[in-house]
Amino acid sequence: MKKVITYGTYDLLHYGHIALLKRAKALGDYLIVGVTSDQFDRGRGKLNVQQSVAERIAAVQALGIADKIIVEEYEGQKIDDIQKYDVDVFTVGSDWVGKFDYLREYCEVTYLSRTEGISSTQLRTEKNDEISLGIYGATERTVRFLKESRFVSGLFVKGAYSPNTRAAEIFCEQSDIEKYASYEAMLADTDAVYIFDTIDRHFDLVMQALEAGCHVICETPLFLSEEQTEAAYALADSKGLVLFEAVKTLWYPAFQHLLLLINSGVAGTVKSVDVACSQIPDDPDFLSNPYEGSLYDWGTIALLPIIKILGTKYQDVQMYDYSRDNFSYLSQGMLRYDSAIGTWKAGRGIKSEGELIVTGTKGYIYVPAPWWKTEYFELRHEDLRATEKYFFKSEGAGMRYEILEFVRMINNGNLTHYHYTREEMRTIAGLIEKFDKREVISF
Ligand code: C2G
């Protein structure tokens, strides 16, 4: 029996895929189809896949062409599969010519001609209209946002506005996007807006954008109080708009996997979560704005692992604060739960080891600094030799994952992929509110 193997994503399965699968089958007697996992595609920079691996497998299965379907999860798996299943022929479309010649050492390699005039990319664009987006702000961060947005299909940056006219001019000219004369003008001309400013300015900017009918992706932390959070989400809901907090850490493949692992109980019962984040910005100007201070800046990121892992129902909270000249350099605190403790340390203009440790009854998870943009973490046990290492590659500056999620939410009517619940948002806003109201012990 001659065994053939082929691989693909098979997103929005079309006749190009089908033609290839049929010809692949005709090369032998038994066809194995490897369907890429969501993680694997993200890792190889294929970010705009619309369907989950389960949906894609179901579509391939329904064709009845494959004799066996497997999931492709890692680089180098093809060699393992060829040996494991005793494969005679490896085949893919002609868009890959030469790329898999290294497999000739293990089996026959055949490139089949690709069907012209059809592709998943084309179907994706036809399915959803492109979202036009305006950027509020003109800083190094908005430049990064713009660059990262180009890796996400279905969205394009139309222009920008910043109260800092000179900075806006430079940004728009260098990036070749439109420069708007006012925020209103930009909102009137776009479907969505990305807001980059300090937390104290978010509420007004967000409300104005929602009133104007724009979807909003706003830098983290979103708001200064629970009330603002409620009001903004109520308005977004009533208008059927997406209001998205740009917490890029949350969408990093490694962080997503960490949450998944903890939920599966590999570390036992979690008894404590310790988070530290700190930064000394390059430009010393930040000290002049109190809203650039510790928890005003780190807010959601510092509190997110605690709230995501231990939940929203804490018993009490203690906050300590080191401020000078109305600027908070360090916020440290402890959330006490029924049977667990969460601590955080958030620093601006001060530096510490930015690690995350999740302590459990069977072992602990260690995420090295800077944990908030990690690709790597370890699950450690009493016996250090039993350490399990996890590596999840993040492409670019990581922002593309959150932008992708934002686009998905707009296209899917705000229903799917809501990994960050309203209750979690409210809880975090409530803690930032306590900090803002100076319910802290100063030192
Ligand atoms: N294909 C085709 N004609 C098209 C589109 C795709 O023949 N118009 C083929 C591709 O060449 C590939 C298969 O259909 O052999 C699946 O295509 P994709 O879903 O785009 O998957 P791809 O990214 O090519 O994955 O490890 C993954 C594999 O290397 C290939």
- Divide the 443 residues of the chain into consecutive groups of 10 and give the mean pLDDT of each group: 97 93 96 93 81 90 95 93 96 94 96 90 74 96 93 90 96 95 97 97 98 97 96 94 93 88 93 98 92 97 97 98 97 98 98 98 97 94 93 80 89 65 94 97 97
Could you tell me the distance, in angstroms and rounded to a whole number, from the CA of residue 67 to the centre of ligand 1? 18
- Residue 289 in contact with residue 311, Cβ under 8 Å? no
Structure tokens, 329 = 């350099």
Which residue has the least CA distance to atom 25 on ligand 1? Answer: 8
* Angstrom distance (rounded) from CA 40 to CA 71: 10
Could you tell me the distance, in angstroms and rounded to a whole number, from the CA of residue 3 to the centre of ligand 1? 19
CA of 72, closest atom in ligand 1: 26
Which pLDDT score is estimated for 43?
80
User: CA angle, 258 as apex, 317 and 338 as ends, to 5°?
Assistant: 30
- Residue 329 in contact with residue 346, Cβ under 8 Å? no
- Taking CA atoms, 404 is separated from 40, 102, 145, 328, 409, in Å, by 16, 33, 12, 33, 9
User: Is there an atom of ligand 1 within 6 Å of 184 CB?
Assistant: no
Q: Which amino acid is it at 354?
A: G
Residues 6+ apart with CB under 8 A from 250: 256, 304, 402, 419, 420
Which pLDDT score is estimated for 127?
66
* Angstrom distance (rounded) from CA 100 to CA 79: 10
**4, 5, 9: which to mutate for ligand 1, most atoms within 8 A of CB?**
9
Structure tokens, 407 = 């686009």
User: Is there an atom of ligand 1 within 6 Å of 93 CB?
Assistant: yes
What letters, b where the CB count within 10 A reaches 16 and e where it falls short, cover 296-305?
Answer: bbbbbbbbbb
**70, 78, 97, 114: which to mutate for ligand 1, most atoms within 8 A of CB?**
114
* Angstrom distance (rounded) from CA 228 to CA 332: 24
441 SS3 class: strand
Residues 6+ apart with CB under 8 A from 7: 33, 34, 35, 36, 72, 78, 92
Which residue has the least CA distance to atom 22 on ligand 1? Answer: 8
- Number of neighbouring beta carbons within 10 Å of residue 177: 18
What letters, b where the CB count within 10 A reaches 16 and e where it falls short, cover 378-399?
Answer: bbbeeeeeeeeebebebbeebb
DSSP conformation class of 286: G
Which pLDDT score is estimated for 124?
73
75 SS3 class: coil
User: Is there an atom of ligand 1 within 6 Å of 110 CB?
Assistant: no
249 SS3 class: helix
Q: What is the DSSP string of 22-58?
A: HHHHHTSSEEEEEEEPHHHHHHTT-----S-HHHHHH
Could you tell me the distance, in angstroms and rounded to a whole number, from the CA of residue 33 to the centre of ligand 1? 11
- Taking CA atoms, 389 is separated from 36, 55, 378, 381, in Å, by 22, 29, 5, 12
User: Is there an atom of ligand 1 within 6 Å of 92 CB?
Assistant: yes
Count of all residues that appear for the chain in the document: 443
- Residue 200 in contact with residue 221, Cβ under 8 Å? no
Of 399, 410, 406, nearest to 128 (Cα)?
410
Per DSSP bridges, beta strands 356-360 and 270-279 are: antiparallel
Could you tell me the distance, in angstroms and rounded to a whole number, from the CA of residue 316 to the centre of ligand 1? 54
Which residue has the least CA distance to atom 21 on ligand 1? Answer: 8
